[in-house]
């Protein structure tokens, strides 16, 4: 929550910075949600799983490991 600190001469931000400020809406193939749910660890949230998977894929591609992705696209059509 943002607000003004009482007694200060200038406005100050109160609260913490949002870690996830960007929103994305995406659609998945039918059955993806249940496949994710089947492999979640106890107490793991689906959203955390998806965020981590995206971060790992970005890092993998940034390292230049893209050959497998090109092959997978060919297989998927």
Whether residue 2 lies inside any domain: the answer is: no
pLDDT of residue 47: 96
pLDDT of residue 16: 87
Whether residue 65 lies inside any domain: the answer is: yes
- Extract the tokens encoding 72: 């997978």
Q: What is the pLDDT of residues 4-52, one digit of tens each?
A: 556 656 666 788 888 899 999 999 999 999 999 999 999 999 999 999 9
- Spatial distance between the Cα atoms of 77 and 29, rounded to a whole number of angstroms: 14
Question: What pTM, to 2 d.p., does this model score?
Answer: 0.63
DSSP code of 66?
Answer: -
Q: How many domains does the chain have?
A: 1
Whether residue 9 lies inside any domain: the answer is: no
Q: What is the pLDDT of residues 49-63, one digit of tens each?
A: 999 999 999 999 999
Residue 67 has pLDDT above 60, yes or no: yes
DSSP assignment of 24-65: ------TTHHHHHHHHPPTT--HHHHHHHHHHHHHHHHHTT-
Q: 66 lies in which domain range? A: 32-76
């Amino acid at each position: 929550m943002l607000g003004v600190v009482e007694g200060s001469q200038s406005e100050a931000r109160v609260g913490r910075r949002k870690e996830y400020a960007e929103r994305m809406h995406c659609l998945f193939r039918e059955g993806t949600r249940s496949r994710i749910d089947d492999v979640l660890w106890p107490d793991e949230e689906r959203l955390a799983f998806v965020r981590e998977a995206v971060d790992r894929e970005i890092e993998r591609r940034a390292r230049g490991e893209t050959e497998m992705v090109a092959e997978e696209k060919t297989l998927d059509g």
